[in-house]
Amino acid sequence: MTEPFGTRLAAAMRRHGPLCAGIDPHRSLIESWGLTYDVGGLERFALTCVEAFAGRVAAVKPQSAFFEVFGSRGVAVLERVLAELRESGTVTILDAKRGDIGSTMDAYAQAYLAPTAPSPADALTISPFLGYEALRPAIDLAGQSGRGVFVLALTSNLEGPSVQHARRGDESVAGSIVRGAAADNAAARARGHLGHVGLVVGATVGPAVAELGLDLGATAAPVLAPGFGAQGGDVAALERTFGSARGQVLASSSREILAAGPEPHRLIDAVARSADVLTQWAR
Ligand SMILES: O=C(O)c1cc(=O)[nH]c(=O)n1[C@@H]1O[C@H](COP(=O)(O)O)[C@@H](O)[C@H]1O
């Protein structure tokens, strides 16, 4: 894999619009598709998503938890999903929010981001709340392998601000994460490219980016913005939150798109509708 993650993702966003389609096989969704909530139903659901999304969307984000809930057979389905998306050339972001002490983080990095990873993704979501530098093995290995990471900064859930807005001196926790990503993307930024260290900033965080004084535009970070759709985030919310950094934003939507299933053509239409709206906004 020679081309860096940031440039591959930017090309996919230009081609398909800045939408990431999430594969979150909730029990209620599987059942609403007329499937049984078991490994067979999971597999049918997830592979239908692959059929609809592969080659049609900038990125696909399978949520690991919904596969892990079925044990090793569910993880095998996740591995198949990643393999089929990889074969189609679609950018994959595995949402597993890994974060641990550095020596353990190294094993997570080997598991998902190494050239030898058994079931690699193009990028992995990671959690910095054991300290940004604890993530170093994943950040560095991703860069070396042409892969990426998305570091949680301002999450879309109501509980996030109690940690992420906290300050030490003048700097908020989120601010220190944004500063870390900017430093790790400095070389890509100097070349005018997106870097391999992305940030997660929810589409629902409202004025927090501005209030905390975060300059996302200076980070060269791709910004994954979950919360678009089912959690209430829309284009107006994205504009309020990201403004001039809009060119870096990859909005992510799961339930709103998945509710259009099970017919693949309806999923394809749902993705196209969201991608169109986002493309108009990002211009
Ligand atoms: O990292 C994420 O993707 C994520 C971060 C965040 O702050 N909020 C958030 O909702 N997510 C994930 O994004 C997806 C949102 O799904 P929907 O609300 O159904 O679109 C879920 O897989 C969440 O785990």
In 79-142, at which residue ranges do the beta strands (DSSP E only) sit?
A: 91-98, 123-126
Is residue 61 part of the annotated active site? The answer reads no
Could you state, in order of their start, the residue ranges of all structural domains in the chain?
A: 5-282
Q: How confident is the model at residue 85 (pLDDT cuts 50, 70, 90)?
A: very high
Please tell me the distance between residue 164's alpha carbon and the centre of ligand 1 in angstroms. Answer: 16
Q: Is the CB of 202 under 6 A from ligand 1?
A: yes
Across residues 90-111, what is the average pLDDT?
Answer: 98
Catalytic entry in 26, 80, 97, 240: 97
92 C-beta closer than 6 A to ligand 1: no
- C-alpha dist (Å) from residue 187 to 51, 136, 184, 195, 219: 37, 17, 8, 8, 11
Please tell me the pTM assigned to this model: 0.98
Going by alpha carbons, the residue nearest to atom 24 of ligand 1 is 63
Q: Find out whether the beta carbon of 64 lies less than 6 Å from any atom of ligand 1.
A: no
Spatial CA neighbour of 28 closest among 267, 261, 205, 225: 261
CATH code for the domain defined by 5-282? 3.20.20.70
> What is the torsional sign of CA 177, 221, 146, 48?
positive
- Say how far apart CA 149 and CA 114 lie, in whole Å: 12
Pocket test for ligand 1, best of 249, 252, 274 (most atoms within 8 A of CB): 252
Nearest CA to ligand 1 atom 17: 254
- Predicted ipTM? 0.99
Query: What is the average pLDDT across 119-144?
Result: 98
d(CA 110, CA 114) in angstroms, rounded, equals: 5
CA distance 38 to 203: 32
Supply the residue whose CA is at minimum distance from atom 7 of ligand 1: 155
Is a pLDDT exceeding 60 seen at residue 1?
A: no
What tens digit of pLDDT does each residue of 193-241 get?
999 999 999 999 989 999 999 999 999 999 999 999 999 999 999 999 9
d(CA 9, CA 30): 29
Classify burial at 176, counting beta carbons within 10 Å of its beta carbon; exposed 0-12, middle 13-18, buried 19 or more: middle
Residue 283: the pLDDT is: 87
Average pLDDT, the chain: 97
Nearest atom of ligand 1 to the alpha carbon of 258: 19
- Ligand 1 centroid–CA 171 distance in Å is 26
User: Residue 229: CB within 6 Å of ligand 1?
Assistant: yes
Place of tokens 């990503």: 181
Token digits for 179?
């500063």
